[in-house]
Chain A
């Protein structure tokens, strides 16, 4: 559903940049979220929460933000994509789309950790954590000392393993909502918003801060078992 464009305060004295039209999206959580940003403000947004339809929703979402803002795909100057961590299938939809758009339009593709996108929208004094659903009763999580300061690399663990290490810190993201026994203080937001991803990317670009390559943060190896010895098909005689 489209949301009104919003303007965010940004630090004064940033470098003057060439015209920007940034397309940002994230598919690392149940939310498929897309935004268009002109370097100053968010022009259009599209967000739909449906964990099973990332592949269906993303492309129409991109078309929707472009047409809402009355801009052409050829005007795009940059793509930003959430690189997870997140459930693999949905995550890949965002990453392959970002790489393809960058390739076909000849524009750079920037990656941002999805947990950082959630953290950026957290309004809270002091440290907090972000936890998203990793399925199989696990969470992807990281600790933050502030909305733009992650403390350590994102990880995947059971909520019960993480809880003692957070010592009652407030936790944003769906992981907090899903595991209230482990995380008593759930805070907003629950899902990442591409508007925040866009704003964060624009700031990082302006300040020369490092962005990531569009490479997925899987954090888990693929499930695969090497077969054991061949099982005989002939039944041993019944005793």
Chain B
């Protein structure tokens, strides 16, 4: 299989992503990214401190067709040039997913092209191909986003993804968002904490590292206790009338999260004899996570791959990338009665 960039005869795949608050439409040809158009309703959710599903779904309906055309324009293509359609079938918000799935079916019907209903998490892993070329097989994937925190052994992103562990409570991104709220930083909290932490000392406060005891599940995560510990610390400080050192709290919280994530990820690589670690999902944009992962992996001879931030958060290009990979491997397209599955398992890459 040759999937070099710039090969004109590779199929062009149009990808749709609507699992949360981003309407993503991407276009790829093989491993080549041609367009990545995203419309977001994030500002409409900000005052609610989290994504409101109905608000997100309404925004998807309005953004869908215009976003498709933005993507086509960027790629310099017409709808008629599209060879296949891919769409996030799950997991995610049911009503939001359904807008993307119905749109993808409409285009598949109108263009008479095959439709691939794919797993959002597998797409988060696959997207790195657009930046760093074909995935090493196997590779280890640390997927950290607003809704998920998982360690996945990935022998083949199109057909074989094995979950090694995941969060037992809050997702990593969720913890960032909640702690940002405690610190009065705003929503979404990840980028704000990342920024605040740069001025702070990650060793200033010793926040707990969840599930790191000798008898704890080696590859599961827990961030809810950490979040509570941060809130307690901040409240105690407020009660005593002292100012809250926001930068130090942000940095120490962030350090606790990325310490556990990277430690477990590197251990998973070692125990499974895997020498490539891929980090994906919105939290992969975190600067400290990237730095610490690089450092700890290098010590063990493991290479780290992290896509650029725009590809880490939800987007349509990642769905198109997985679609292209499925087409290249001759996968069977999904049926037109493809359902949206809000709790789709990571082991199901394609519906």
Contacts and interface: CB of A to CB of B under 8 A. Distances in A.
**A and B part of one assembly:** yes
Interface of A: 53-60, 62-63, 73, 88-89, 92-93, 95-97, 99-101, 103-105, 216, 218, 222-227, 230, 232-234
Contacts, number: 114
B228 interface: yes
B109 A59 contact: yes
A216 B231 CA distance: 42
A56 B65 CA distance: 20
12 contacts: A53-B339, A60-B336, A63-B109, A88-B95, A89-B98, A92-B57, A104-B107, A224-B54, A226-B49, A232-B231, A233-B228, A233-B231
A89 B95 contact: yes
B171 to A, nearest CB: 19
B52 A224 contact: yes
Given A92-B95, A222-B52, A56 B57 contact: no
A223 B53 CA distance: 9
A110 to B, nearest CB: 16
A104 B102 contact: no
Taking chain A's interface residues, is the majority helix, strand, or loop, or is none over half, making it mixed?
helix
Nearest to B106: A100
Contacts of A103: 65, 68-69, 79
A92 B98 contact: yes
B102 A93 contact: yes
B9 interface: no
A95 B98 CA distance: 12
B64 A56 contact: no
Contact of B47 (A93, A99, A100, A226): A226
A59 B235 contact: no
A227 B49 contact: yes
Given A88-B95, A96-B64, A230-B181, A73 B52 contact: no
A167 to B, nearest CB: 35
B111 interface: yes
Contact of A96 (B49, B102, B232): B102
Contacts of B336: 59-60, 63
B54 A96 contact: no
A56 B102 CA distance: 8
B340 interface: yes
A97 B103 contact: yes
A225 B64 CA distance: 26
B338 A225 contact: no
Nearest to B239: A234
